[in-house]
Structure formats: C-alpha cells, structure tokens
Structure 1
Amino acid sequence: MTPNPGARALPGRVLLAGRHRRLARAIARYDECPDRAEIERRQVRRFNEIWAYCLAEVPFYRSWRREHRLPERIDRPAALWSFPPLTKEVLIARQDEVFQGGRIVDAYTTGGSTGQPTRYPRGAGEAGDRWVDAYLGRHWAGIRPTDPSLLLWGHAHLFGSGLRGRVAQTRRRAADAVMNITRLNAYDLSEPALWAHHAALLRHDPVSLQGYTSAVFRLARHIEGNRLDLPAPRRLRAVVLCAETASDADVALVERVFGASAVIEYGTAETGVLAMSRGGTRDISVFWDSFTALVDDAGELHVTTLNPRLFPLVHYAVGDRVVPRDVVDGNVLALQAVLGRRQDVVRVVSARGVLDLSAILPVHILKSYPGIVGVQFHQVRPDELRIHLEADHRLDLAAVTHHFTRELRRDHPDFVESSVSFTQTSEPARTTAGKHALFVG
C-alpha cells in the first residue's frame, strides 16, 4: 500500500496554522511587487521601530550609540553607512554586555570555521519569523511547508551528550516529523552511505531535496557515475543548495542529474535565511521585508535585521562577499552571486608576481574535471598553494595539473604552474558545523 504523504503532513499544518497565515501574508506582500521607493520606505519605518527598541531595551546598543554618536532615526537605508560595522570580534569581546551579565541564556552559535565561535542572544519567538522567510523563498520554487523533503544535513554533534543531548535530538526528530522531513547524514559521504542516500531518494520520492552544496553535488556525481536510475514520474520540484557556495558547474550537474531546478538558499546561523534565488540561480532575491542588506565597493555584505529580535543585528558585517544585482546607494535587493568569506582568497604565482584569486575560480575549474567531487586548499606560503582533491576514482595528477593550468591561463596567461601542487585525499576535512572545509592546514 502506497503511503499517503498528505496524512503525514496534516499534523504540521494544524500545529503551525499561525505560521501558515503569516506566510500567506508574506507571499501576498512580495507578490505585489512594490517598487524600490516603497520597499525602502518600509525598510526605514521598520528599522526606526527596531532601533527605538534597541535604545530602550538593549544596554549594548545604548552604549554603542553613545560611543559612536549615532542618530535616533534614519531617513533612508543608505544612512546605515554612518553606523560602524558590527563585527564578530566586537560581539566576542563584549559578550558580557551583549548577554546582560548572564541574564540572557539562549543563543545562536556559529560553528567557528573561520575563527572563534560567536554567540548571539536568541529570543523565544524568533523561530516563527525564520520559518516564514525560509518558506517564502521555497514557495517561489513550488515547495510548500510540510511537502515531503529529503534533507542532507548534519549538526547532530552540536546537540551535545548526556540527557540534554538526547532531549535535543528527540525534539529535532519530532520537529522533522511535523514538517515531513527525512534527514540524512551529510557528514558521511562514503560509498556505502551514498548508495543508501540514493535508495532513500527513491523510497521517499520527495518534493524537495535540500542540503549542503558539497553533499548534494557528491550525491549527484555518485548517481551519474554509477548510471543509477531516478525513474519517472517523480515529485521532485527543486534541489535547494545551502550553506556553501555553488558554482555554475555544481548547478549544471545537479539540474542534469535530478531533473529539477537548483535553488540557491543563502543565510547564516545568526540571521536565518537572508535570500533565495527566484527564476534562476543568478537572481537571488533578498528578503527586503526582514533585512536591509548593504554592499560596499569591495562586495562586503552588511546586514540589518528588521524583524523583532531579542538582540537585533545592526549593520552587521556578515563576512561574506557578494556580487550585487539590484543595488542603489549600496542597498541591495538582489544578488547575482555569493562569493563566500572575505578570507576565501588563494594565492598563486604569475610572471608579474603573486596573484590573489577568489577561491571560486580554481574550484570551478577543478570540478569541471571528470571525477573530482571535492576541493580543499592549503596555502603553504604566499608563493605555494597545495590543493587537496577528493574524487570518485584514482586521479592522474599530471593530467589534473595540465587541465588546471590550461583553464587558469585563459584568465591569467602568466600563471606559473610550479606554484601549485595537487594531492588526492579520501578523507576531506570538515568544519565544526559539518560543512566541507575550503581551507585546511
């Protein structure tokens, strides 16, 4: 007897009826397609309400305003450029003030893959706004809340151990059941695990497949390399790529193998989902009703949260570089691409000296080589880059070197081949959050 997915989804629709109503209002608001002037008026109004709360209720921001002589109100989003960037370093250094001497206990925590983990106060009612933003973006891809979803994710280790860890895992399983989510382990991408993930995909026939870009890419390569079937008809409407930068090669492979549109979901642990692609992976719409996103000339992203939060983030330096698509005075409403962390630069040698390259370029080149499924960098010295490769077969590293040199010299003809070396690994390093680590060593 074929299971009825609607029966499993019913408890979620009943328990989350309030969130569904809020989501419907958000969908209607974005479907109205207001012009930029109306969007910015709304952003200003919402920011001034949030800032008034900050100055009345958040001791850190009262001090922040005095220290930097900040205004009580703004009249346009670009006025946020007069605010100093709120960085992770500031939040770490002033944790006692941010958490009000221990009176605030709950927190969002970053994994600390690029430095010391950072904690951000978390309020009891904030999950609802995050849920609405996430499903607003998925609505554009034809995914509804409680549609059957397969999730290639991790974070089990962050639950902790002992009774508290078991309670947290039980709560996660219950939440997954309510939302009709089947969770697969993205940490284990061994050959047996990939066969099991493919079997789960066939068994559950989900409406959406979501996960770390590297995990979804690896599963797609496994399916294609082993000529595995994904028999029709299938319910799959979209493959949502999260948490890691997706190259054009990643997107092309995913769409070819799964026969569904790839969707870019961009966000952070501390903000929730900030933006999602709409009508193409190079048109990533910012959730302008929940965030003001400013981009400077270097492509650095600064975000201000506009939903009610225990501790709003004001002109927060996310640490990511982006390519803006729809921007006026730095206020961006859509992105063309997310380039990743500002630290994600590799250095190679050319005849003219050391070249600083966005890490995305060598990743894109190498993932176009047959069999390569993972790329990690070890910057030994400014003039020496070691690249660790994960592949589904034994690589001819001389052939890889030739391919890499030929493709990189299309953009950088003076590239010196000897400044880069390759090794093959079967155990790629991961961050504490379970993501594929881009830099090692």
Structure 2
Amino acid sequence: MLNKFKQHIETNLIFLKGKKLLIACSGGVDSVVLTHLCHQSGLDICLAHCNFNLRGGESDKDEEFVKVLGEKLGINVSVKVFDTLGYMNQHGGSIQMAARALRYQWFNQLLETEHCDFVLTAHHIDDNLETFIINLSRGTGIEGLTGIPQQNDRFVRPLLRFSREEIENYAKSQGIKWREDSSNVETKYLRNKIRLELVPKLKELHPTFLSNFTNTQAYLKQTQALATNDINAAQKRLFRKRGDAQLINVDELKQLKPTEAYLYGLFHKYGFTEWDNIKNLLEAMSGKELVSKTHRLLRDRTHLILSPLEIREQTNYAIVDGVKILEEPIRLKFEMVSGMQELGPNTIFLDKEKLNFPLVLRNWQKGDYFYPFGMKGRKKLSKFFKDEKIDVITKEKQWLLCSENKIVWVVGRRADERFKVDASTQKILKVTHII
C-alpha cells in the first residue's frame, strides 16, 4: 500500500510535496495509517487532534495516544479540547454537526497559526459510499451523488483511492496500533447503521462492488461536468447584469427543457433549492418573490430579478438650510441662482419660499403620492413607477426629496408641481443630483 500511496501522491497530488501538511488525527485506524504513510513518504507533516469530550475517559485516552504517536514519529501534535455539548445547546443541530463545525473552525485557525498549507483528512472509498447512500436516502441532485471531493480548497483527502479493508490490512501487516472508537458500533447513528448493516450486504452482491461504485461515481462526475458546462452557458446567455442585480427574461427561461433541472442548476448556488417554487414564480404576478439565506428572487413583469439580500432600514437624512453639498447617501448640490437653465432629469429649480427646512431625503414608502410637474392632480408613486416601467428593485432604492411630508422631487425622475418656480418666485433654489 505504501508504494501505491507514493505513486498516488506523485501522479495526482504532487502539489503536496514540499508543503507543510496538517493531518487531522483522531487516533483511529484511518488517520493513523495516513500519518504513517505520509511520514514514510517524506512529507512534512504535523498532527491535530480534537478531544470532543463525548466519551469520558476514552476521549482522554485517544488524546494521549495521538500525543505518543507524535513523539514516536518526531512530529508536532496540536490538541484542542471542546465543549461539544455546550456548543450544540447554544447553536442547535446534532452532536455530529456540532463536532464538525468545531473541528473545521479549529483546522482553519491552525492553517494560519501553524503556517500549514493544507489539511489532510483520512476519508476513503467506504466513506464515499456511505455519504452517497445518505444523500440518496435524503434526496439530492447529481452533485450529492458524486461523492466527497479529493480536494476542497485547502482540505485534501489522499486516501479516497483506498478502501477501509486495504487500510486495516496495511495497519495489521505493519504492526501499527490504533484506537477503536466504541461509538462506531452504535447503530443509532445513521452512518454507523449504513456502515454496519447495509454496506456489507451491498458488497455481497458483487465481489468488485467497491470498484464498480468508484467507476460509477467517476461517470457521474463526468456527467456533472457536462451539465455544469451547459448550465453556465445558459446563465451567460440569459442573465443580464444591472448594478448588483441580475435580470432573467421569463419567456426565455420557460423555453429551457427540462425546466426543473435548469431552474435547479441556475439558482441553487444562490440558496434556492425548491425548484417547484421557482417554477411557480414564472407564472406569478409581478411583485411575488422568493428569499433564500443570501438572495432574493423577484417576479417583475417580464423578468425575474435576482439580487443579494439586503436588510434595509428606513433612514431619513435631514438637510438644513444653507447646505451646499450633501455627500450621503447620494450627492446633491444646492445653490441659489438668479434664473432657470440647464433643465434635465438630474436638475430641478424650486421656489425656496415654498419649502420648509430642514428638507428630508428618504426612500419611497407604500402610499406615497405627489403632484407630477406639468400635470394636474396627484398621482400615487406606485402608479408613477408602473407607468415609467420601473422595476421593484429600482423602486425600492428610489430616493425622494421632501419638504415636511410633501414630496418635492422623485430624484432623477420628476419634480413636484407644488414647488415649481412661477412668476411670483423671489428666490430660486437649484438642486442637482451629482452622479
């Protein structure tokens, strides 16, 4: 197995050579064998051991075993003792989720404090099979069936080419000692139940079951690559960037077949996993939306608008009399002039004596209305936005310049008739939106 491991490093993981490597070592057979193989292959390694305090004295003996292993091999060992139950009670989830979160947080810290380049974990073929079955039982897309990646950023799994049987046989043949985790035989955990009861039955079906499974996953990864290329091409064709948002034409989206597969492929990376809900959004009225943990998907007439999720608070900005320049949240310039000129969407002229200071700059709210310049009567802003074909995202970011509760200017779009300069005006205030 050592020669096979060395060849694997030379052929597929050559970037590990000459780097400082942190091995996640529990004391179990997989991580102990990985430690020996790396040490015998001349790789620069150190160990990290997590004591999760879940098995009383057993946990402490595991910790001591890893420390002794480091001393025998002459390599540094870092140990961290966790309050796993306390973390779980505070953050929720299962014990396994809590332990996973804690160890990966610590490993990422050690990469920096120990000046390591990569973390090595001892996942193998059997782990991949168990993960495949777990994902299959819960329901998943193709990415959930392609298995544990050999490399994920700075985390590398050099034993994914080897089976549990190969690893244990090597340990026995070399007289390598390891620690047995008593919790591994408890079938109350799903992974253990699959490992102890289901996987042996699957292996009985065919003598080369694991090998066939590995080949099948390789084919799935190739299929996933083809699908990913097609999804990326569709996204490049359909997604049109505008500011920090993306506009996607609904009619063009509907033409993609199979629709559900494309919807999942296009939107799951933004946290949307219920493609039926997205499909329903294609037929929904304007204004309907879906929200993920990171993004918002909004139906707006002919398009879906995808944008990062923002937590907006209504903020009013006061503008006292005499201010020359307002810098935030947008740039506005105020100046007294003797006459009107330079008319345009970003400049208005106001009768200053009709204004009550301080003026207020704020975002629009439902129920807002104004008296559009050049028109008789008032108009709801929602109707104005609709007539101007302004989408919901842009509408929400629209700024209004107000005098008391009256809208003076829908900034950059339309002034209010009530504050216009007329024959009786004595003082003209020019306001410019500086873009």
Higher strand proportion (structure 1 or 2): 1
Give the TM-score of the pair, scaled to structure 2.
0.25
Give the TM-score of the pair, scaled to structure 1.
0.25
Kindly name which structure, 1 or 2, has the bigger radius of gyration based on alpha carbons. 2
